[in-house]
Chain A
Amino acid sequence: MEFLLVQALSGLASAASLFLVASGLSIIFGVTRIVNFAHGAFYMLGAYVAYTLTTRFAGPLGFWGAIVAAAIIVAILGALMEMVLLRRIYQAPELFQLLATFGVTLMVQDLVVVIWGPEDLLGPRAPGFTGAISLFGRMVPTYDLFMMTLGPVVLGILWLLFHKTRWGVLVRAATQDREMVAALGVNQKWLFTGVFALGVFLAALGGALQIPRTTVTHAMDLSIIVEVFVVVVIGGLGSVFGAFVAAIIVAELNAFGILILPQISLITVFLVMAVVLVVRPWGLFGKPESAPRAAAGLTIRPWRPFTQMERAGVALVVVAVAALPFFLGNYALTVGAEILIYVLFAASLHFMMTVGGLASFGHAAYFGLGAYGAAFLVKYMGAPMEAALIVGPLLGLAGAVLFGWFCVRLSGVYFAMLTLAFAQIAWSIAFQWVDVTGGDNGLLGIWPASWASRPAGFFWLALGIAVVGVAVLRMLVFSPFGYGLRAVRDSALRSEAIGLNRQRMQWAAFIVAGTFAGLAGALFAFLKGSVFPDYMAIPTSVDGLVMVLLGGVETVSGAVVGAVLYKALAIWLMSQTDLSKLVLGGVIVVIVLAFPKGVVGFIEDLRHRWPRKGNGAGAPVGATKAEAA
């Protein structure tokens, strides 16, 4: 009994930092509608800066002064990011802002190593809270007690800030209706910057306060950001009190899950999140999302299938790519095959995002399930490659059937978060079910059939499957099913009124996308000869998102271009520099600023700015012209 109490207290202490970071994310989202992926990076920066200040400048500042100063310094960095980067892209689709903050996250990961080195750092203990006291016969660190009280104190301060100051009232008003706040004479720009600075301050404070408890590492950011997403979603986006309650729930689940169900400890939190989202789609204390801004697919230029000429052009490109094995070496062909696999993966996600209007943060789950499906067939049934490539993706399909059924009940950010949760569940199963999946060691020896074992052979195989896959997806866009999906995406209410079943159509789209992702994953297993849990991890999902957004979410074929560009760039950078994340992140940020509609969207815009002859100059925005891209 005493042991359980102490365990509960330890959970409460962890909840404090989680709450600080989550409330910051929640506040920022509430007003700016930006899911700040860089929030974990600011948390990490808070810890690093606090480490430096407490070890080097503890004299003038004192420990506590250094902690607060660290949070302020990082908050200023956050405000700068908002002013320099985000202000330029508030009009872009919401996910684009996520992409921009993801670019910043990548950069910070490398910068931290450059500045502070790769080793874990151990900060000083907090003066006055170095010991432990005996509670119920067990020792509890006094710093844990301090953290425990800090949570409610911060909650109280935030409540006062939001209810008793003019600024706080404006922030709450803007959370509901930004345009109306502007129509009452409030300059949103500075409101947004202020909110961003406050949110980042809270994240950095959460990080800085961790240094007496844990070591400072350069992997802190990703581990916290996932937990924080979970907290914010359980509590309800935009609700500070919800973040407080959910932080306690999550921290206690972590503290007790490891005791009660150690085999599935990684999953418990995500299972709870999935249950909450299905029962209360807006989180425990959230409010239904205010009217979403223009849907991602809301394009002025309607899509149309390729003309004969364009089809011939595409065929020519495919033939040219097919001829590459006669010119390229083995390494280049292996890279090429990997790019082709990602083309299919990105195209499947793009189908779901663009046509279905469903932005998934966990598409890697189906990629990984397909890979494991193929690997199981080879390992446990001795199936040949051909059979494994056909049957393996069915595991991706099955996963999409199961997870998709839950996910399509939600929309927007909550949909994205639930897909993320399911992907983490899939990852955790692969990671913890060692008997079947090999856990972290993965499954090895998944080699292709002899005819595809040479790089050229495998390249052709990958090309064939990618071309057929992309073509099928494209045909679906222009099928009655595709039209129905777009109708549902553009106006759920109206399409339901004419008899379209929104949930069932989106579920079908989810399954289609998951199956093709599974196919890509199965190919990937044979390319690498092995399968690991990381195939399903967040970075893979984010890679897919980046490819789609880079290509242009409002286009039909942007994913193909995005995948080629991004994957080629990433692989090339990896071979050229140790700071590949810094450069890649920088490139993403620049591309976001330069091409807010994606690369393909940008090219489309160019084509419309210079109308072809006979169109007459000054034709109104090409409104009546359909666009193939």
Chain B
Amino acid sequence: MKLQVSNLNSHYGPAHILYDVGLEIGAGEVVALLGRNGAGKSTTFRSIVGLVPQREGTVMFDGADVSRLPTYEIVRRGLGYVPEDRRIFSHLTVEENFEVGRQAPRPGVATWTPDMLYKLFPNLGEMRKRPGGQMSGGEQQMLTIGRTLMGNPSLVLLDEPSEGLAPKIVEQMADAILAMKGEGLSVVISEQNLHFAKLISDRAYIIEKGRIRFSGTIADLEANPEIRDAYLAV
């Protein structure tokens, strides 16, 4: 198992957000974490990488318990994280944003260079010197993914990669995620958009009100429309 999360409970101050969340991600798998707005998707990701201070439970990554480690140590072990709001360094150029994400090559994992990323996201190649703040939403989404890939992760948590993007750009995102899978990476995406998730995922979890309500293959989900209606439909 690449990533194994069990009994994850998180709080923001007095508010209890996650209840005993459990996830299992295999090597090279693309898994979707589905749920509505406010269901706990982002908090799950933030808790896994240690950005939520009040959390309990275990996070096993590559067979080691990382739940007590500071964020940067977790990330340095190859667990990449792409935040929902992109959080581009808007005063830094594309190249500089990549530089911040750069980590030493990791044995057994694809090593990314800016040139490879410009091939994956040709738009970025045309604006290497442009500050991140002067890019479109789609370009920023490419930049934030590329920036995380520069850390040569073996697994990436991708928080809502399709949010607010034009359909054409969403397609590009799907291609990029499949390319990451092709390089042997595990990918966990959080999504509200079932259609997008179906395009790329092997399996899916559904989270609602901080609890995991469903776990299964995309085919299982397709076969049970009542689950989809109960937890995903708006």
Contact residues of A with B, CB < 8 Å?
Answer: 166, 169-170, 172-173, 176-177, 179-188, 287, 300, 620-621, 623-624
Contact = CB atoms under 8 A, between A and B. Distances in A.
Given A169-B92, A169-B99, A173-B89, A184 B148 contact: yes
B49 A184 contact: no
Contacts of B14: 300, 620-621, 623-624
B123 interface: no
Contacts of A176: 89-92
Given A172-B89, A173-B89, A184-B101, A623 B96 contact: no
A65 B73 CA distance: 39
A173 B91 CA distance: 8
A17 B132 CA distance: 34
Interface string B73-93: 101100001010001011110
Nearest to B75: A185
B81 to A, nearest CB: 5
A182 to B, nearest CB: 5
A621 B97 CA distance: 40
6 contacts: A169-B99, A186-B72, A187-B72, A188-B72, A287-B91, A623-B14
A287 B91 CA distance: 10
B100 interface: yes
A185 B89 contact: no
Contact of A173 (B49, B51, B71, B100): B100
B69 to A, nearest CB: 11
Contacts of B71: 179, 182-183
A166 B101 CA distance: 11
Contacts of A623: 13-14
Interface range on chain B (Cβ under 8 Å from partner): 20 to 34
Contacts of B138: none
A516 to B, nearest CB: 32
B70 interface: yes
A300 B13 CA distance: 7
B41 interface: no
Interface of B: 13-14, 49, 51, 70-73, 75-76, 81, 83, 87, 89-92, 96-97, 99-103, 147-148, 151
A180 B14 CA distance: 25
A186 B83 contact: no
Which of A181, A184, A621, A624 has most chain B Cβ within 10 Å? A184
A182 B70 contact: yes
Nearest to B151: A185
Contacts of A621: 14
B81 A183 contact: yes
B51 A179 contact: yes
B13 A186 contact: no
A620 B83 CA distance: 29
A249 B26 CA distance: 61
A503 B181 CA distance: 53
B147 A184 contact: yes
A184 B70 CA distance: 12
A177 B75 contact: no
The 6 tightest CB contacts between A and B, nearest first, are A623-B14, A185-B75, A180-B87, A173-B100, A185-B76, A182-B71
B49 A183 contact: yes
Nearest to A622: B14
Contacts of A173: 89, 92, 96-97, 100
A185 B72 contact: yes
A621 B83 CA distance: 29
A184 B96 CA distance: 13
A461 B209 CA distance: 59
A181 B71 CA distance: 10
B99 A166 contact: yes
A184 B51 CA distance: 12
A246 to B, nearest CB: 19
A620 B96 CA distance: 44
Given A180-B89, A300-B13, 17 more contacts: A169-B96, A172-B96, A173-B92, A176-B90, A177-B89, A179-B51, A179-B71, A182-B51, A183-B71, A183-B75, A184-B75, A184-B148, A185-B75, A185-B101, A188-B72, A287-B91, A623-B14
Nearest to A294: B13
A187 B74 CA distance: 11
Contacts of A186: 72, 100
A184 B72 CA distance: 7
A294 B91 CA distance: 24
B51 A183 contact: yes
Nearest to A179: B51
B91 A170 contact: no
A57 to B, nearest CB: 41
A155 to B, nearest CB: 18
Nearest to A301: B14
Nearest to A175: B91
B72 A169 contact: no
Nearest to B100: A173
B48 to A, nearest CB: 11
Contacts of B49: 183
A173 B90 CA distance: 9
Contacts of B151: 184-185
Contacts of A179: 51, 71
B75 A169 contact: no
A264 B100 CA distance: 49
A180 B83 contact: yes
Nearest to B97: A173
A184 B91 contact: no
Contacts of B87: 177, 180
A621 B90 CA distance: 38
Contacts of A187: 70, 72-73
A98 to B, nearest CB: 23
A166 B100 CA distance: 8
Contacts of B72: 182-183, 185-188
Nearest to A623: B14
A318 B72 CA distance: 53
Nearest to A187: B72
Contacts of B51: 179, 182-183
Contacts of B83: 180, 183
A287 B49 CA distance: 29
Contacts of B90: 176
A624 B92 CA distance: 44
Contact of A169 (B70, B100, B103): B100
A240 B102 CA distance: 26
A287 B133 CA distance: 13
B13 A184 contact: no
A185 B104 CA distance: 11
Nearest to A624: B14
A48 to B, nearest CB: 37
A187 B70 CA distance: 9
A176 B91 CA distance: 8
Contacts of A182: 51, 70-72, 75
Contacts of A170: 100
A620 to B, nearest CB: 7
A172 B72 CA distance: 18
Contacts of A183: 49, 51, 71-72, 75, 81, 83
Contact of A172 (B73, B75, B76, B92): B92
A624 B13 CA distance: 12
Contacts of A166: 99, 102
Contacts of A188: 72
B91 to A, nearest CB: 6
Nearest to A620: B14
